[in-house]
Structure 1
Amino acid sequence: MPVIIPLLFGFVFSFIGVIPPGLINITAAKVSMTDGKKRAFMFVLGALLVIFFQTYISVIFAHYINSHKEIDLILREIGLLIFVVLTIYFLKFAKPPQLQDKKIDVKSKRSRFFMGMFISAINVFPIPYYVLISLTLASNNSFIFTTIPIYSFVIGVVLGSFTVFYFYVMFFNKIGEKATFVLKNINTILGIITGIIAFFTCINVLKNYVHGG
């Protein structure tokens, strides 16, 4: 269980975080169309290497926060606010993703591996995302900050990210012609997920206040 559960959590939350059309997955698809799938997967490997370290750093930072309760509660409250805002945004204001509007220049013939590393490195969103996710899981006794669960979670994130990238590399043309059910309803799905996270985070914050009182 210390291996499987964190692995599954890492996979699911990375899948949710990466599946909306973004800089990395759309670039991977464009590289696939211009240079072929082999070079696209080299790009993906470079991106995954950075994602591995970003996730590991995020969980270690979350571990530090979790061990300093005065910081922990403040960040949980901030996280609650963020997830509530995201839930409202996804359910009420977010527009469906338009894949054809992503204009990314992939003409450069430099190593796609290092290109993947660079583009992944400038995308800093995963760090606060996985800090909040791991803190939320830990607060609900679904995750512990020990070596095996940490690496299992990180590997799960890498596997989930790879699954989404594979999907974009292999099936981007079909996505462009006709959106899949997931992409058509991605904002609703994300809104429900962030709403669930906000709900459990709220319960945890209230428990902390009740216990503190």
Structure 2
Amino acid sequence: MKALKNIFVGFLVSFIGSIPLGYLNIIGFEVYSKTGMNNLLLYLLGVITIEAIVIYCTLLFADKLSRSKKLMKFIDLFSIIFMLILAYIFYSQSKSEESSESQLSEYLQYSGYLIGIIFSCLNFMQIPFWLGWNVYVVNAKYIRLGKKLNLVYLAGTLIGSFSGIFTVVMILNKVTEGTNLLSKYLLSHIIPLFFVGMAFYQAYKFYKKYY
């Protein structure tokens, strides 16, 4: 049961985080449209290879934080602020989306796996994203930690990222330019509201726990 909960929470967090139209999704669409399905799958494997390292390292750090009772209040407060920051980031991203086909074209000559590695390494936002989420799910006891349970959680997050980016790429491939409107709506409304809701929920738990 613990393993199933870990993999479900990992999948859910990662899938939702992958849905907004970020640059990794745009690059994945370019890889698919220019070089086909096989290269897209290699690209996604490259992306989650780096993500696996980031998630596992931040999870270990979150474990240490969760064991320190003196930091629990700070962690709870940080989780609330982090949710609001994520809501703002996703909202503001919808106002400044850019596509860079000319810069991407020079990379498309390489293996999709290498492209995924390169651009995932440049995705610095995943570090605070996963640190914040891992602190949150550990502190809120949504997942249980342990050597095997950590790997199960990691597997769930990687499946979620792979599935999320793949889903967005397939949608982009099937619809017209109207997709830009849809993606902006998701970024500026649904995803930010989700994070704001989580922030309010955490604020309620924070008040109930400490006051």
Specify if TM > 0.5: yes
Q: Secondary structure at the match of 1:158?
A: helix
User: Higher mean Cα deviation, 173-182 or 124-133?
Assistant: 173-182
Aligned to 1:103: 100
Counterpart CA distance in 2 for 1:74 and 1:201 is 13
Structure-1 residue corresponding to 2:196:
195
The whole-number CA distance in structure 1 between the counterparts of 2:187 and 2:22 is 13
Q: How does 1:50-129 map to 2 (within 5 A)?
A: 50-87=50-87, 94=92, 96=94, 101-104=98-101, 105-108=104-107, 109-129=109-129
1:18–1:178 CA distance, 2 compared to 1 (3 A): same
1:77-107 C-alpha deviation (Å, 9 max, x unpaired): 23312323444676xx6474787x4114133
The verdict on how the C-alpha distance between 1:88 and 1:31 changes in structure 2, with shifts beyond 3 A counting, is: closer
* Other-structure match for 1:2: 2
1:10-21 mapped onto 2 (5 Å cutoff)? 10-21=10-21
Partner of 1:153: 153
1:181 deviates by 9.3
1:27 partner letter:
I
| 1:36 to 1:87, Cα distance in 2 relative to 1, 3 A | closer
Unpaired runs of 5+ in structure 1? none
2:47 is aligned to 47
Give the aligned residue type for 2:105.
V
What value does the CA root-mean-square deviation take over the aligned residues? 2.6
Greater CA drift, 40-49 or 73-82 = 73-82
Measure, in 2, the Cα distance between the counterparts of 1:132 and 1:24: 20
Which structure 2 residue ranges, 5 or more long, are not aligned? none
Q: So what's the TM-score if we normalise by structure 1?
A: 0.83
Q: Which moved more, 1:178-187 or 1:54-63?
A: 178-187
SS where residue 105 of structure 2 aligns? coil
TM-score of the pair, normalised by structure 2? 0.83
Residues 38/197 of structure 1: CA separation in 2 closer, same or farther (3 Å cut):
same
Distance 2:66 2:178 in 1: 44
Count how many residue pairs are aligned between Structure 1 and Structure 2. 207
